[in-house]
């Protein structure tokens, strides 16, 4: 995506610096556009855990690069496969909900368990990580193509009035390699000249909507309005939302959708107000091994994310406490929207019902 006069992806590899991967530091946005170089397994783990890089598809790709970087950094390792198995466990412990991470790690495990020799393994791990980045990017482009007709149909009904889209968290290009998931059809529709307006949930506690989605939409010149997380239901009651588009971190065989905490409440409000609720996701986010959403591991994050708010004061990014001392806190990162509340799943292979049959028709298993 374009940032100022330069095209960026959220993560990239430079062949002139083979032991590193470059990422956009999402913790500094929207105040500072900073590129971070990551050159060790520990830094990959921390970037995922502390959310320098976040969003299901891109953390999968970064984990794949993490396995490669660890192999690259240890040319004398006599027991490379054992070492990489430890690296895999370590990365898996960083964030549990997005299945893309587990998928990426298991793909890399297949490689070093099948071949031997340091340079052969390292080369194959790099090719797989680069391949995953390309696949995710193309999947998101196609999600945009496949989701676009939904917005076009709404635009036809609205006869020149902007289509009002509500989104939660950040499911844009920062969360993927490029294009985004939920935002991919939005970018495509904007490019096609369809009048649009996006309601952006602030997405407490980390404010990915306020910080990242707003930043992305602003870069793209798409009209948006930031709203408090609890405002969506009111807007829907008053006919101010035409469609809800969200991403997913893991979708189970029956179509249940784990996404950023608060998504479920938007789906309930959408159903009550007859607003279509679509989930956009690459097939790498579908976990056919899980029957339904109750088995999805839901990440619990640190209390400080709720106790403190982060913002810019003058030239400094600072945190301030917003609650009385010793306030007990529970911080679930994700919730599960039951398949029955989902109008459809927008994937790179087409749109399907959020059901076992729908998912089977897409995955062809």
**Which residues are designated catalytic?**
249
**SS3 state of residue 273:** coil
For ligand MRU, the binding residue among 205, 247, 255, 262 (CB under 6 A) is 247
For ligand MRU, the binding residue among 248, 252, 337, 347 (CB under 6 A) is 248
* CB of 108 or CB of 248, closer to ligand MRU: 248
Residues between 253 and 272 with contacts to ligand MRU, criterion CB under 6 A: 259-260
Q: Which two tokens stand for residue 44?
A: 């990959």
Q: Least distance to ligand MRU from the beta carbon of 200, Å?
A: 12
Q: Least distance to ligand MRU from the beta carbon of 247, Å?
A: 3
4-12, 215-223, 224-232, 246-254 -> range binding ligand MRU (CB under 6 A): 246-254
Q: Least distance to ligand MRU from the beta carbon of 99, Å?
A: 11
CB atoms within 10 A of CB 261: 21
* CB of 69 or CB of 169, closer to ligand MRU: 169
Residues between 157 and 196 with contacts to ligand MRU, criterion CB under 6 A: 169, 171, 175-176, 181
Residues between 75 and 134 with contacts to ligand MRU, criterion CB under 6 A: 98
Q: Which two tokens stand for residue 124?
A: 């194959």
* CB of 57 or CB of 344, closer to ligand MRU: 57
27-35, 53-61, 185-193, 356-364 -> range binding ligand MRU (CB under 6 A): 53-61
Q: Least distance to ligand MRU from the beta carbon of 227, Å?
A: 16
In sequence order, what DSSP letters do the residues of 205-234 get, joined into one string? TTTHIIIIIHHHHHHHT--EEEE-GGGHHH
Residue (of 55, 46, 40) closest to 10 by Cα position: 55
Radius of gyration of the chain (CA): 20
Q: What is the DSSP letter of 243?
A: E
Closest residue to ligand MRU, based on beta-carbon distance: 247
Q: Least distance to ligand MRU from the beta carbon of 34, Å?
A: 18
Asked if 144 touches ligand MRU (CB under 6 A), the answer is no
CA angle 307, 308, 313 (to 5 degrees): 160
Contact flags string 206-225 toward ligand MRU, x per CB under 6 A? --x-----------------
| Spatial separation of the C-alpha atoms in residues 92 and 26, rounded to whole Å | 21
Contact flags string 13-52 toward ligand MRU, x per CB under 6 A? ----------------------------------------
Beta bridge partners of 6: 3
* CB of 53 or CB of 87, closer to ligand MRU: 53
Longest dimension (CA), the chain: 67
H/E stretch holding 124: helix 118-158
**SS3 state of residue 148:** helix
Q: Least distance to ligand MRU from the beta carbon of 294, Å?
A: 18
* CB of 122 or CB of 208, closer to ligand MRU: 208
For ligand MRU, the binding residue among 55, 60, 205, 255 (CB under 6 A) is 55
| Spatial separation of the C-alpha atoms in residues 236 and 155, rounded to whole Å | 17
For ligand MRU, the binding residue among 43, 70, 249, 256 (CB under 6 A) is 249
In sequence order, what DSSP letters do the residues of 81-99 get, joined into one string? HHHHHHHHHHHHTT-SS-H
Q: Least distance to ligand MRU from the beta carbon of 174, Å?
A: 9
User: Is the four-CA dihedral 344, 345, 347, 352 of positive or negative sign?
Assistant: negative
| Spatial separation of the C-alpha atoms in residues 65 and 243, rounded to whole Å | 36
Q: Provide φ and ψ at 117, rounded to 5°.
A: 95, 125
Is the Cβ–Cβ distance between 40 and 69 less than 8 Å? yes
Asked if 11 touches ligand MRU (CB under 6 A), the answer is no
The residues that touch ligand MRU, with contacts defined as CB under 6 A, are 54-57, 98, 169, 171, 175-176, 181, 208, 247-249, 259-260, 333
């Amino acid at each position: 995506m374009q940032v100022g006069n330069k095209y960026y992806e959220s993560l990239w590899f430079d062949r002139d610096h083979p032991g590193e991967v470059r990422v956009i530091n999402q913790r500094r946005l929207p105040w500072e556009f900073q590129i971070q170089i990551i050159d060790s397994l520990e830094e990959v783990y921390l970037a995922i855990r502390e959310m320098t890089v976040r969003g299901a598809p891109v953390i999968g790709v970064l984990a794949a690069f993490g396995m490669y970087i660890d192999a690259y950094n240890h040319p004398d390792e006599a027991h490379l496969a054992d070492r990489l198995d430890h690296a895999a466990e370590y990365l898996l412990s960083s964030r549990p909900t997005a299945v893309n991470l587990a998928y990426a790690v298991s793909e890399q495990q297949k490689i070093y368990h099948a071949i031997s020799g340091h340079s052969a393994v390292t080369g194959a791990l790099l090719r797989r990580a680069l391949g995953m980045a390309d696949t995710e990017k193309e999947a998101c482009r196609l999600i945009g193509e496949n989701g676009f007709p939904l917005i076009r149909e709404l635009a036809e009904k609205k006869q020149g009035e902007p289509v009002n889209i509500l989104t939660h968290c950040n499911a844009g290009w920062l969360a993927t390699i490029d294009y985004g998931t939920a935002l991919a059809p939005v970018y495509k529709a904007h490019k096609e000249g369809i009048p649009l307006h996006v309601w952006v949930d602030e997405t407490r506690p980390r404010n990915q909507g306020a910080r990242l989605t707003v930043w992305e939409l602003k870069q793209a010149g798409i009209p948006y309005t930031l709203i408090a997380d609890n405002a969506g239901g009111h807007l829907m009651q008053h006919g101010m939302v035409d469609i809800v588009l969200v991403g997913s971190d893991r979708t189970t065989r029956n179509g249940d959708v784990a996404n950023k905490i608060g998504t479920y409440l938007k789906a309930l409000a959408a159903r009550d107000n007859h607003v279509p609720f679509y989930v956009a996701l690459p097939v790498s986010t579908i976990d056919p091994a899980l029957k339904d959403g109750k088995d999805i591991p839901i990440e619990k994050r640190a209390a400080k994310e709720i106790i403190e708010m982060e913002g810019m004061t003058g030239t400094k990014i600072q945190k301030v406490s917003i609650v009385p001392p010793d306030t007990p806190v529970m911080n679930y990162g994700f919730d599960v929207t039951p398949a029955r509340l989902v109008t459809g799943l927008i994937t790179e292979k087409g749109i399907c019902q959020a059901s076992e049959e729908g998912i089977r028709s897409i995955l062809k298993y």
